[in-house]
Amino acid sequence: MTDSVRTNDHRGLRVVVVTGLSGSGKSTAIKAFEDIDYFCVDNLPVALLPDFLKLRQESSDDLWHIALGMDIRERSFLESYPRIFSELRQGGTDLEIVFLEATDEDLQRRFSQTRRKHPLVGEGTVLDRIKAERQSLKDLKGMATRVIDTSNLNVHELKRMISRLYTVYPAQDTLHVNVLSFGFKYGVPMEADIIMDVRFLPNPFFVKELRDLNGTQEPVIRFVMQRGQTELFLEKFTELINYLLPRYRDEGKNYLTIAVGCTGGKHRSVVITEQLKEQLAGLGYPVTAGHRDIEVD
C-alpha cells in the first residue's frame, strides 16, 4: 500500500468528520448521524482515516455514508489532521467537516454539571483549558464545511438539525431543498442558507378566530393567500429561488435550507413554506418542508 493518501480513490463515499470543542455536543451529533443510517465511528485516530476509507471503498457492504468523531481525545490529532484532511480533499474524497462549538460560559457550565474532566492535558482551570482548546482548533474551524454553535441548542434540537442537514438521499448530483418555517422571536435557524422574512404580510394572529390556529389549517391559509401581495410575492420569490438553485448546484452544493420566518412561526411562515414547497416540487426539485416553531407555546 502506498503512503500517499492521494492515491486512494475514495470518490463515491460521503464522509462527515464531526469535530470541535470538548463539551459542544459531538457525541449527540454522532448519535444523530446513526439515527439517519450513517456508518459511525467515534474517536477514530486520524492517522487511520486513509486506510479506513480504503477498506470501506473495497468492502462489498452498501455503506457509503460515514460519520466519524475526531478531536483532541486522540493525542496525534492536532499534529496530523491538517495534512491528512487536505490530502484527502485534494484526492477527490467528499470530506465534510462539521465543527461544533459553544460559548466559554456554556462549555464551563456543561463540564460543571456532568463533572467530566476536560480532555486537554495541562495546568489551570477548566475555563483555561477551554480557551486553550479553542485556540488550538482555530485552523480546523477555518477548514470546516459547517460550523454549528450549540450554545442555545438542547439535545433534541441538535439531533433535529443534523437530521435536516444530512439525511441521506439517493442521488448525490441533485440539489435537495429543505424549506423550514420559524419564528424570529425564537431565533434564526443556524442551518439556514437563505432566510426570507415574511412579516410584511398581514398577520392572522390579530384575527381572534385565527389566533389559535396555525398555517396548516384552511382558514389561515385562505387569510394569507387571498391577499394580492402574497400571490405576487410568491411569484417573485419562487422566480428568484429557481434562478439561484442551479447556481448553488454548480458550486457543488447538494443540500440547501431555505428558512421562512414570521414573528411566532405559526401562521404566515408556515403557509408560505408549504406554498414554496409545492412550487419547487412543481419545478422538479426534491424538496421537504418542516415547521420548527409551530407547536411552541
Burial of 169 per CB tally in 10 Å (0-12, 13-18, 19+): middle
Q: How far is CA 276 from the centre of its chain?
A: 21
Q: What is the pLDDT of residue 131?
A: 94
Give the DSSP letter string of 199-244: TTS--GGGSTTTTTS-TTSHHHHHHHHTSHHHHHHHHHHHHHHHHH
pLDDT, position 153: 87
Give the pLDDT means over successive 10-residue stretches in the chain (297 positions): 39 84 95 91 94 79 82 91 94 92 93 81 83 95 94 88 75 77 93 95 95 96 94 95 90 86 97 96 89 88
User: Domain-by-domain residue ranges, the chain?
Assistant: 5-166, 176-291
Taking every pair of C-alpha atoms in the chain, what is the biggest distance, in angstroms?
72
CATH fourth-level superfamily of 5-166: P-loop containing nucleotide triphosphate hydrolases (3.40.50.300)
**pTM for the structure as a whole:** 0.62
